[in-house]
A and B are shown apart, each in its own frame.
Chain A
Amino acid sequence: MQTQPTSTVDPSEVAKFEAMAAEWWDPNGKFKPLHMLNPCRLDYITRQIAMEFDRDLGTPAPFTGLRLLDIGCGGGLLSEPMARLGATVVGADAAERNIPVARLHAEQSGLDIDYRHITAEALAEAGETFDVVLNMEVVEHVSDPLAYLTACRQLLKPGGLMICSTINRNAKSWLMAIVGAEQIMRWLPKGTHDWNKFITPEELYALIRSAGLDPVDRKGFVFNPLGWSWSLSDRDLSVNYVTASVRR
Chain B
Amino acid sequence: MAQSTDVIIAGGGLNGSTLALALARAGFKVTVVDALPAERRAEDAFDGRSYALALASVRMLTALGLWDGLAEKAQPILQIKASDGRPGEGPAPWFLQFDHAEIEEGPMGQMIEDRHLRRALLNAMAVTPGISHLAGQDIVAQNRESGGITVTFANGDDLRAALLIGADGRSSGTARRAGIGRTGWDYGQTALVCAIEHDLPHQGIAHQFFMPSGPLAILPLPGNRSSIVWAERHETARTINALDDEGYLAALRPRFGDFLGEIRLAGDRFLYPLGLSLAQAFVADRVALVGDAAHGIHPIAGQGLNLGLRDVASLAEVLTHAQRRGEDIGAAEVLARYQQWRRFDTATLALATDGFNRIFSSDNPILRLGRDLGMGVVNALPGLRRRFIREAAGLTGDLPRLMQGRLP
Contacts and interface: CB of A to CB of B under 8 A. Distances in A.
Interface in B131-180: 146-148
A27 B327 CA distance: 13
SS of A interface (majority): helix
A43 B325 contact: yes
Nearest to B336: A27
Interface string A27-59: 100000001001100110010000000000111
Contacts of B104: none
B326 A85 contact: yes
Q: Which of B146, B326, B332, B333 has the most CB of A within 10 A?
A: B326
Nearest to A35: B333
B40 interface: no
Nearest to A41: B325
Contact of A39 (B26, B146, B147, B327): B327
A42 B325 contact: yes
Contacts of A65: none
A60 interface: yes
A109 B147 contact: yes
Contact of A80 (B148, B326, B332): B326
Given A35-B333, A58-B27, A60-B27, A84 B146 contact: no
B47 interface: no
Interface string A16-36: 000000000001000000010
Q: Which of B27, B147, B321 has the most CB of A within 10 A?
A: B147
Contacts of A81: 325-327
Interface string B26-38: 1100000000000
B27 A46 contact: no
A110 interface: yes
A38 B147 CA distance: 19
A12 interface: no
A58 B324 contact: yes
B114 interface: no
Interface string B360-373: 00000000000000
Contacts of B148: 110
A108 interface: yes
Interface string A94-109: 0000000000000011
Interface string A193-216: 000000000000000000000000
B324 A27 contact: no
Contact of A84 (B26, B328, B332, B333): B328
A59 B321 CA distance: 12
Contacts of B328: 80, 84, 109
Nearest to B329: A84
Interface in B1-28: 26-27
A49 to B, nearest CB: 10
A239 interface: no
A46 B326 contact: yes
A35 B327 CA distance: 11
The contact size tier of chain B is 10 to 19
Interface in B325-347: 325-328, 331-333
B147 A108 contact: yes
Contacts, number: 39
A83 B327 CA distance: 10
A27 B27 contact: no
Given A35-B333, A108-B146, A59 B327 contact: no
Interface string B304-337: 0000000000000000011011111001110000
Interface in A61-92: 80-85
A42 B331 CA distance: 15
A109 B331 CA distance: 11
Contacts of B27: 58-60
A42 B147 contact: no
A43 B327 CA distance: 11
A104 B326 CA distance: 18
B147 A46 contact: no
A110 to B, nearest CB: 6
A29 B146 CA distance: 19
Nearest to A227: B340
B144 to A, nearest CB: 12
Contacts of A109: 147, 328
B122 to A, nearest CB: 26
A69 to B, nearest CB: 16
B228 to A, nearest CB: 44
Interface in A87-140: 108-110
Contacts of A39: 321-322, 325, 327
A80 B334 CA distance: 15
Interface of A: 27, 35, 38-39, 42-43, 46, 57-60, 80-85, 108-110
8 contacts: A27-B331, A35-B333, A39-B327, A59-B27, A84-B327, A109-B147, A109-B328, A110-B148
Interface of B: 26-27, 146-148, 321-322, 324-328, 331-333
- Across the A-B interface, give the 7 residue pairs with the lowest CB-CB distance, nearest first: A81-B326, A42-B325, A108-B146, A85-B326, A84-B326, A27-B333, A108-B147
Given A39-B322, A83-B326, A84-B326, 12 more contacts: A27-B331, A38-B327, A42-B325, A42-B326, A42-B327, A46-B326, A58-B26, A80-B326, A81-B327, A84-B328, A108-B147, A110-B148
